[in-house]
A and B are shown apart, each in its own frame.
Chain A
Amino acid sequence: MKRILIADDEEALQRLYKEEFEDEGYEVLVAGNGNEVISLLEDPSHLPDLIVMDIRMPGMNGIDTLRIIKEKYPRIPVILCSAYSEFKQDFSVWASDDYVVKSSDLTELKEAVKKHLKE
């Protein structure tokens, strides 16, 4: 079973994503900010197959976290999922694997996850 790490500061969204992706048959871990993500990753038993991460988070933000992830765990795909649509064209510059604008319809996100897990 694939393991996904969801990072978002909004508890409601954490819950929504967790339930939706569990429905899809994934094991889902959640984190509320960048620091939590990094400490989770330090436990090898928790190492996820993919990370879905918001950009604007308290503490360490998504972009900084992304940089650390890509340094230490370059093989884990990271999908940025943000309410900001204006960064969409810049995601590759930040070395994230994909960028999905948050929407109540999770179809696009789910497809992106599926796509990057297959590789």
Chain B
Amino acid sequence: MDRGLELLKKVIQVANSSIGFDDRLQGILDLLIRKEGVERAILFSMTPDHETLELKKISPRNVLWDGSPFLAAKTPIGDTIHNHIPLLIPRLNRKEHKALVKHSLLKGFNSLIVLPVEDDNLVYGGLCLLSKQSLKPDPGQWELLDLVARELAGIIRNSRVYTESKKRIAELSVLYQVGKVIGSTLELDDLIERVVAITAQVINATGSALMILEKDSETVVVERKFGSVPPSVKENIFRDLLDQKGNQIVNRGTTSPSRNRDALTLKDKNHQGSGETHQISSFMCIALNFKGPYRGRLCVYEKISLGNGTTVYFSEEDLSVLSTIGNIIASSLENALTFQKIETLARKNEWMVRNLSTLYQIDSAMMTSSTLKDLPQIILEAITLKEGLGFSRAILLLADEDKKILTPMAWSIQRESDQDPSLKKRDHLTGNELSGYFVRQAAQIRNIRQEADQVVHDIKVPLTKESGILARTFLEGRAFLVDRVMEDPRINKELAKRLNLDSFASVPIYAKDKVVGVIEVDNFINKRPITEEDLYLLSMLAHQAGLALENARLYAFIEKTNNELKVARERLIESEKMVAIGEMASGLAHEIRNPLVSIGGFVRRLNKKFSGDDQVQSYFQVIINEVERLEKTLNEIMDFSQDPRGNYREWDLNRIVEEALGLIQRELDEGQIKVQKQWGKIPKVFGDNRQLGHVFYNLFLNSCQAMPQGGLLTVRTYSDKGAERSWVTCEIKDTGGGIPPEVLHNIFNPFFTTKVHGSGLGLPIVHKIVTRHNGEVDIDNRPGEGISFLIKFPSAKEARQQLQRITTIREENHETDINR
């Protein structure tokens, strides 16, 4: 039989035998040895990148070489494979082959045959046959070798198909197992437990670990180990992978997960001093791809061979299994995470709703107490009551912007025992009752002198950054939580000692976007740690408190404005009353004046007729004088009710006041009253000098009468330009004890007097004249001390403009009258 056919027959036998693929390849190579003078046969396989040739099989098997299994593709061997053309190098010792023979696998041979190992579709590698003699195959031999190479290609192809399908099956079974596990639960905890277990189990690793971080906050949301995992794995591998080189690894991890076949030596960061190290012979790690805001790692450690229980390396297959697991669990984990998050949110919401309703009740308690005085105490009670926020102590400090300090306005300490036993438990109270409860508690507490007063009442915190956290809370407008007071360099040591603090929190109180104060809270009695949640609630309460404080302030303001309005209204009524009196007086004047004129006129005539009779004349003179006196009084009443505006001129108010002072000189001297005069540079006023003088005369007279034992009369003139009007003002200030508040509202009433011989017309006339001149009268009454009258007139310029307008209107009216 032909030797060639003999060989081919054997090759086909081997190729179709039931032994493993590797053994078949080896067997075929072994068959080639010694045939046709071949002394060494090598099967190279082409790596997927076509860059290198990798030693797959060699015969004889006991070849000694330096170990390098690779060969660059850019060699005559590689070219042959690429070109699909067999190659014969009869003499390897030629110069051009120097580089090739350097490779230890090819060393020491004379000639080389290379055959591409390929089928119709794919190139798998190359078959090299080496001999010390010169190889010279004839065409029949070439054909035979080509057939053998094709046979080898067939075996390799079959092996790949087999591996591929094995992998598929393995993957499917993993899918099945993992899917079964994760489909059975939605509880995150449960799921994680099962994931790490099944991962280790499927890959046959001794340990596995799973870690998931939230992308932005870097907070660990899941961290679970299974089996034996080196203790430093979490700190080192995960942190390193996710934090420092996180992105890098994630990128690599998604395309080609990191794998380490070499022993990995890790220094345990927690035991850096001890220098303890952990040996991991192998580990494998993949990135978990989440759609949401998470990133994660799934790792396995130390694979055990199924046969003898020794440690083996992870294979590509293991990696693809791990990736498969990763892909399946990622979405389940994400769902569970989301589910958990939603649940947490729901719980938090519930918590918020509960606290909000407490806050609301505290808030409505605050709103029911509209006085500024009670409010701070109520806020603090709410903070310290067990039924409220339950702090041991709370201090409310308000800022004194002028003095640049924070001072305590109110404070409260939780009292364990002295709660009103008659009160129902808070849980059983309705919203309204609860508000009342807080208010009552506050009222009760106000009456109890607290020992804390001693400690707290004279605290003064300068508003500078250096004076501690409370000042900073105010200045920076944000909350602070200080855990370990004594170790914190920012705090005010003296204050902390005084308040016996070891931890505290402080929040700013805002009123209308502006920080107005600070609330300090601590648990110096019960030592309960202050949590972020506490701080959160406190901030909310402080916000409410700010609003309430602002409301109370507004309320006080409105109340004040209201009172002022009431006074203004009363004044208005007052002046209307006086107009009525004026009208009455003028009607009266007519009735009285005519008879007076008759009486007076005829008596004067009588007086003339009886000239010579002194006695009769003296009688007449009495009547004449009395009538004159009556007429004068009548004129005064008329002055009070009417205004001879025709006499208006521009006057220097300083002169008028000075002259009025002159009229009162006698009274001033008699009463030993000192006068202080400050004449300001003021514009002229427009009016009737006689009436204006009367104003000041009346006021001076009143001041003198109020200071019978002497005193100081200050007379000051000045002008001030207001936003709408500019006034020329004369202030008359005395030290006569002022007017009792309860009668103050009467002083402009005609006939109101507290004097035995007073007529009670002085101030009403003052008022009448001043308003007639478009001026105003202001009073600064300081009961027990003295009173100031501020007499304000518009400047002449302004007054003329006003008068102009009035006269124009009048004339228009008269014209229509006349033309009627």
Contacts and interface: CB of A to CB of B under 8 A. Distances in A.
A85 B605 contact: no
B818 interface: yes
A105 B646 CA distance: 23
A48 B647 CA distance: 31
A83 interface: yes
A19 to B, nearest CB: 7
Contact of A86 (B595, B598, B600, B638): B638
A106 to B, nearest CB: 6
A103 B593 CA distance: 8
B644 A104 contact: no
A67 interface: yes
Q: Report the contact-size class of chain A (Cβ under 8 Å from the partner).
A: 20 to 34
B6 interface: no
A16 B635 contact: no
Contacts of A88: 644, 646
Contacts of A89: 643-647
Given A85-B589, A85-B644, A105-B600, A10 B631 contact: no
B644 A83 contact: no
A83 B604 contact: no
Contacts of B720: none
B3 to A, nearest CB: 157
Contacts of A102: 593-594, 597
B624 A104 contact: yes
A1 interface: no
Contacts of B631: 103-104
A90 to B, nearest CB: 8
Interface in A1-59: 10, 12-13, 16, 19-20, 56
Nearest to A70: B818
Interface in B584-598: 586, 589-590, 593-598
A16 B602 contact: yes
Interface string A69-94: 00000000000000111101100010
B594 A83 contact: yes
B598 A12 contact: yes
A108 B305 CA distance: 142
Contact of A10 (B589, B594, B814): B594
B589 A84 contact: yes
A88 B688 CA distance: 14
B627 to A, nearest CB: 5
A104 B638 contact: no
B594 A85 contact: no
Main secondary structure of the interface of A (DSSP, over half): loop
Contact of B638 (A16, A20, A85, A93): A85
B628 interface: yes
Given A67-B818, A93-B811, A83 B589 contact: yes
Interface string B642-656: 111111000000000
Contacts of A93: 810-811, 814
A16 B814 contact: no
A86 B586 contact: yes
B220 interface: no
A91 B146 CA distance: 146
Contacts of B605: 16, 19-20
Nearest to A102: B597
A86 B596 CA distance: 18
A12 B596 CA distance: 11
B601 interface: yes
Residue from B597, B605, B638, B647 having most chain A Cβ neighbours under 10 A: B597
A16 B602 CA distance: 7
Nearest to A11: B598
B628 A84 contact: no
A85 B647 CA distance: 13
A16 B598 contact: yes
B599 interface: yes
Interface of B: 586, 589-590, 593-605, 624, 627-628, 631, 635, 638, 641-647, 810-811, 814, 818
30 contacts: A10-B594, A10-B598, A12-B598, A12-B602, A13-B594, A13-B597, A16-B598, A20-B605, A56-B590, A83-B594, A84-B590, A86-B638, A86-B641, A88-B644, A88-B646, A89-B644, A93-B810, A93-B811, A93-B814, A102-B597, A103-B597, A104-B596, A104-B601, A104-B603, A104-B624, A104-B627, A105-B600, A105-B604, A106-B601, A106-B604
